[in-house]
Structure 1
Amino acid sequence: MPGFRNAAIIIFALTVTPLHADDEFDAEIKRHTNAIRLLDQQFLSHYEKTRGQYIARVTSENRKSIQALESQRDRAAKALDLVSANRIQAVIDKLTKTKVDAPLPTANAIQKLDSARAKRDETATKDDDSGRRKVNGIFDGSSLNGWIGDSRVWTVRDGMIVGTTPAGGLEMPTYLIYEKPHRNFELSMAIRLTGDDPDTGLMVRSLLLDRNRFYVQGPQVNVKPGKWCDLVIKGGKTGPLRNKMLKQQNRKLIERALRAAEFNTVYVKCVGRQVKIKLNSVTLVDSEFAELPLAGVLAIQFWPTAGTSQVLVKDVDFREL
């Protein structure tokens, strides 16, 4: 706009004018003030006239950016690069929540956010006596701090994580999600199933697809009568992944290891694409799987399809390797 250009020229010209006396200094300050006031008035006038076009343009660009990012996320997930997929999903979440009349997150802002998260994650870990990195506070026994999930389903009781069928049941699986991504790790927890049709599982290195609906896709160690410790890819009709069996367990071996109606300890260790699974110290799996993502989030699935059921989880130990 000509007005902007003229005001800028005025300010530039005045900044190089030499000052020789107090009256000239006062005049200089007045000219500066008037020039800045003029620039402000022109900017406000321009902003009011173009605000509608600005909002429409930003909304359109925002929508296009989200669509492009969703495509990138799906490609990364299909390539089993869940670190990138989860990071892209976090940007999608921020763009979705960004007000159209506020600045969109810039690459520099996202980089700063990533650095802050990395620093936070670093301070949340420490070396234990064995030299391995241990995540502090993954479950403190009294709250679900650090986890997200449906409050109708998940509670903490007597030092345990408890998932209970809500009134009206569930139309789809729900997940209690520990959002901090992990790579190489070992995880153990004691699990007990009760009720009419208990169905749960441990999601590891998974992709957080919908934070509001608490929905993930990825590798799962089944915890369900008749399917204990089967290793599967848990996908769906939507999203980048589809259901796939990776390792079906020997039922006779499961029967010997399983303690009916009691707590059973499930152990999972992932290093690269090597997976080890134990049930009550009995090794069931110790193999490599090319389909296994190299990083992702941890979650506990719950999906009772009939009646009322519960899953009780205690003695949670998660260590980064």
Structure 2
Amino acid sequence: MDPHDGRVLGFLLGFRSVVANQRLLQDTPGIVGEGRTVAVDFRVHSNLDKLWLFPITHVCTPTIARRNFYTMRITRGNESLLTPKQLIIARVWRNFEDRVEGEQFSVEEALMSGLFEETNHLEPIPLPDAEVYYQSNLDLGRHPDEILRELISDVPWRQHRILVWGKMHLQPRLVAWYGDPDTEYTYSGITLEPLPWTDLLLEIRKRVEAATAASFNSVLLNYYRDNRDSMGFHSDFEPTLGDRPVIASISLGEERTFVLKHKTNKLAKPVRLRLASGSLLLMKGETQRYWMHGVNKQGRPCGPRINLTFRRIVNSNK
């Protein structure tokens, strides 16, 4: 199927309204699907930030309209992705969203005046059903940029295929798993066998344990190569992490926005945190039971970021 022929493509997605980018890369790789239901690998579209998706009743593939069926028209070059009527709706809705966002009280804004000033100790982030702490500047023994470069160069990074919506997809980032013997980790249909600790990771672990008063036997490294890499919303609530997991996260390199969303409390607004290079984020208690977290793609180009999330595998033989 030629993706430039202007035909309407069906997307079986949950109900969301997101912002339209008015251009799509002309090569449009990564379009796959069965019949007329398709999925697009948005990572390959560097200038495609978000996309308006609209419910339809008069045009649909397959021919029988169903709830939660949405459309996008893939066009040539500078043509609009939206019909004139949809474009008007998009502008009105975007203006409404901008106004609402400006009026809403943001946890991020409330914390910027205190919590997000440079700190050398953990400060609590006030969230319901959670214990989350942030330290903007943890002494790692070396400059964060130096550690970043060494990890990018020396770690045997891998890109795994994970199960999403019943299909296998490449993770939109690179990962590596280090830990004590017998600390294998299973999530999203993959099992990671631990690589042996390096001197650098052991030194960082020692400093993280001192700052958090916790002990860890493993660490998951995530390498976000640029703005197109991301982490989907999830909670680290696997049985191997225990009933009240303790996760200590070190950020290196480019600042990315870390988003927390409550699983059930609709009154709890999403929390967006800009994690500085060299910072420490600690999540413990009931956080993983009640909250999801993720890192979205972003429209503006950015440099690399590495995230080290220290954990404790409770079924370890160690």
> Which structure carries more relative contact order (alpha carbon 8 Å, separation 6+)?
1
Regarding TM over 0.5, the answer is no
Structure with higher Rg: it is 1
TM-score norm. by structure 2 comes to: 0.28
Q: TM-score normalized by structure 1?
A: 0.28
